[in-house]
Amino acid sequence: MIRHRPRGLGHPYRLEPDQRVPVDPVVGEPIELRATTPWSIAGLAVELQIGGRTERLPAELVTDELVADELVADEPAASDEALQPRDGHLSAAASRAPALARAAWVVRLAPLPAGTRVRYAFIAEGGWRSRRFEFTVAGWRADAGRLVVTAAGGAGDQTGGDRPASSAGAVTAVPETDRLVPGSVAWLCADAGPLRLRFALRLERGAHVVGFGERFDHLDQAGRRLDATVFEQYKGQGNRTYLPVPFAIVVPGDGSPGWGLHLRTSRRTWYDVGATDPERLWIEVALDPADLDPTVELALYAGTPADVLAAFLAEIGRPTLPPAWVYHLWMSGNEWDTQARVRAEVERSLAEGIPVGVVVIEAWSDETTFVAFRDARYAVHPDGAPHRLADFAFPPDGAWPDPKGLVDWLHTRGIRVLLWQVPLLKAHPAPQGQARADRDTMVARGYAVREADGRPYRNRGWWFPGALLPDWTNPDAKRWWLEKRRYLVEEVGIDGFKTDGGEHAWGDGLRYADGTRGAETNNRYPLHYAAAYHELLRSCGRRPVTFSRAGFTGAGAVPLHWAGDEDSTWAAFRAAITAGLTAGASGIFFWGWDLAGFSGEIPSAELYLRAAAMAAFCPIMQYHSEFNRHRRPSRDRTPWNIAERTSDPRVLPTFRRFAQIRERLVPYLADQARRAVATSRPLMRALCFEWPADPQIWDVPYQYLLGDALLVAPVVEPGATDWEVYLPAGRWVDLWTGAAVEGGRRVTRAVPLEIIPVFRRADAEEVPDLPSLA
C-alpha cells in the first residue's frame, strides 16, 4: 500500500520516487522523504520522532509524476515487463494503465544538525501505516580514518590529514607533501561508521586533466565534475560511462612537470576538477560503514603523461596483447538472426571487394539460455549440466541448420567468429525448458548474486528486468556457467565472445560469494565477467578475445572493448573519438566503436564515410546496427544498405577503399600494438602523450596518433571541403600525396569524402605503403 525504499533501487544517478534523498542525510543539506501509494489514497503524512519530540507533517502530492509500479520480487509477472521505467520515463503501457501506476508523495525537511537521530513512518488516510524507518544525520570529522599517500617507488602515511607525510623517495618532481592540501582531509561519519572521505589536491591553474576511464564528454576534464562508477547509459552518455577508472593524468599548463593519481579502490569516487576552485582537485571516496578505522590509498605519480601511465600500468598490469586478426574489418547487425542472413551478408561484402576479418553474430541464441542456437532441439538437463554439440538437432528449415558448417565456411575464408553474450538469465517471459532448469539451479545452489537478505538479486535495470546475475566470485557458479558454453568453442569452433551487458549489478548491499558487498564489487563485476570468458577460451586452446563495453581498473588485461550504444549523429561521432582517447589514456588500448553509430535512423552518406575513414585509423574497425527487423526500409549499417538508402554512388567505392587501406594497415597495427604494450603508450594516443608542453594540442581534441608514426585528424563536422590540421613540431609527410610539411603550425588540407587527413613522421620506419588517394 505504502512503498518507501530508503536506499532506492541502487541506481547511481536517478532519484526514485519512493526513496530518501539523500540516502544518508548530511549536515547542512535538506532532506526529502519520498513514498508512493495507489492513486486511491487521498492523503499521506509522515510521523517524525526527533529526540523526545513527535510531530506529523503532511506529504505533498507530486502531481506531475506518474510512477510505474515496479516489480522487483523474485518472480516479476511477464505482463508487467513493459511497465519498467527507463531513466525516469514511464512506458507507454503504464501511461495507458493508471490502475497499475502509483501516486508519488514527498515530505521536505530542513537541514538538521550532525548526529540528529530521526525516526519516521508514513501514515495514509484510512489508517494505513508503513513500518518505522530511521537515520542519523552524518557530519564531517578530521580524525576518523587514514589516508595513505604512496609515491611512485615510495610511500608516505598521513593520518587524519594533519600530519605531514614522510617522503620515502621516488617522487622527485612533485612530492606528495606538496600535493595534498593541508587541512582538507575530512571523513563523513554517521552512527553506522564512516561513509565517505573527502580531500583536496593542489592543482596548477590552467592544468589539463585527462583520464578517469572511457569518457564521452571531454578529453580535458579540467573545470568539470564527474564520478567513477560503472553504468549503462543507453546512448548520449554525457559524463556517465560504462568504463570508469579512478586514475587521471595532470598536464600543467605552464610546462612544469606533470603528475597523476590513482585511487586504489573499487568503490565509487567523485571528482571536482577545479570546478569550484581552479587550484583544487577535490576528491571524495565511498567507504564501508562497517569499517570503523578505514584506510584509503592514493597513489601519486610524477612525470610526463607517458611516465604517469607507465607507472600506473606497472602497478595494475599492462594490457594484454590480442591476436593480430582483430585488426581486420569487423561486421555485424543485430537483425542478422539466421544462418542464411549471415552468409548472405558476408558473401555480399566479399563480392563488393570489401575484405572481412571478423563477424559478430548477436541474434544467434534462443534469447533465454544464451547457450542454445535458436530452433535447436535438445533434451533439457534438469541440473543445468552442459550440453555437447551432439545433443542438439538443428532442423534443416530452422534459423541455424548447421552452425558448425557456417563457422567452418567462414574460417575457410579467413574470417573469425564471435558470439554475443550477456551475464543474465532472463525473467521475462517466464522461463521455460532449459532456461527454467537453469534458473532453478542457480537459485538452489546459490550461484546468483544475492540481496542483503540472501534472496537472489534480480536485475533492477530497464534491460532484462528481473534477470538473475551469475556470481563470478563463486568458483562453482563460474565453472557451471562456462562449461555450458564450452561446446561453442571446442566443437562449433567460435573464436571469441561479445561480452555485452556487464553493468547490471546495482546496490551497495548486494552480497557476493567471496564475502564482499556491492559497494566494493559491483564496479569489478564486468572485469570478473570478461575474465571468466577469457579463462574459458584459454582452456580451449584459444588466444582469448572478448568484446566488452563495460569495465574498471585493469580492463586492459581482458581486451577488447567498444564504446557502447550511440545514435548516428555527428555529436556521437565526436564523443566516440573522445571515448577512444580517454580509454587509451586509462590503460585500455584495444578499443573500437560502432562506426557512425548503431541506433536510430541511418547516418547520412557523409557521416558514414567520415566515420569509416576514422575507424580505418583506430585500433578496431567495425560496423554494427541495432535490432531493426520491424523497420522498413532497413536500418542496417552495411555499406551497401547505406548506399541504397542514401542513393549516394560514392558510398560503396569509398568504403571499399578505406576497408582495403585498413587491410594494408594490419601489419603496422600488429607491430604498433606490441610496442604499445611494451612501452605502456596507447595505440590510439592523445597528443599530450608526445607533446605535453605544447599548448596548441588542446585546441584539436579530436586529433590523435595511431601508433608512433601516424597523426590522424578526422573530419568531424558536416559540409567540410577543407580541414585545418595542427602539426606539432617536427617534419611530417602527407600520407596521401607524399608532400613534406614542417610542423609547429596549422595547415589546411582539401578533404573530399575519400580523404581523411593523415600525416606520418618523416623519420618513421615500418609505415605501410598505402595507395595514393590524391
Give the separation between CA 499 and CA 548, rounded to whole angstroms.
Answer: 5
Give the separation between CA 264 and CA 266, rounded to whole angstroms.
Answer: 7
Sheet holding 704-706, edge to edge: 684-686, 704-706, 710-712, 758-761, 731-734, 740-742
Q: Specify whether 352 is catalytic.
A: no
Residues 6+ positions from 256 with CB-CB distance below 8 Å = 204
Q: Using N-to-C axis directions, what is the helix angle for 570-585 and 605-616, rounded to 10°?
A: 10
* C-alpha 689 chain-centroid distance: 23
Give the separation between CA 71 and CA 51, rounded to whole angstroms.
Answer: 36
Taking alpha carbons only, the member of 523, 580, 529 closest to residue 269 is 523
Written as nine digits, the cell of 551 is 569495465
First to last CA, the chain: 72
The C-alpha cell 507530486 sits at: 62
Instruction: Return the DSSP state at 491.
Output: I
In the set 204, 565, 708, 734, the catalytic residue is: 565
363 φ, ψ to 5°?
A: -95, 55
**Residue 532 contacts residue 482 (beta carbons within 8 Å):** yes
**Exposed, middle or buried by CB within 10 Å (0-12, 13-18, 19+), for 533?**
buried
Query: In which element (H, E) is residue 472 found?
Result: none
Written as nine digits, the cell of 38 is 495507489
In the set 220, 500, 508, 520, the catalytic residue is: 500
Q: Using N-to-C axis directions, what is the helix angle for 651-679 and 639-646, rounded to 10°?
A: 140
In the set 335, 495, 503, 606, the catalytic residue is: 503
Query: In which element (H, E) is residue 519 found?
Result: helix 518-521
Q: Specify whether 566 is catalytic.
A: no
Q: Specify whether 471 is catalytic.
A: no
Give the separation between CA 468 and CA 190, rounded to whole angstroms.
Answer: 33
Query: In which element (H, E) is residue 528 found?
Result: helix 525-539
**Residue 607 contacts residue 573 (beta carbons within 8 Å):** yes
Beta bridge partners of 561: 548, 591
**Residue 190 contacts residue 339 (beta carbons within 8 Å):** no
Written as nine digits, the cell of 368 is 533465454
Taking alpha carbons only, the member of 192, 220, 191, 193 closest to residue 206 is 220
Distances (CA, A) of 588 to 272, 298, 686, 770: 24, 21, 13, 27
**Residue 38 contacts residue 61 (beta carbons within 8 Å):** no
Instruction: Mark residue 433 as left, alpha or beta (left: phi above 0; alpha: psi -120 to 50; beta: remaining).
Output: left
Show which residues are catalytic.
500, 503, 565
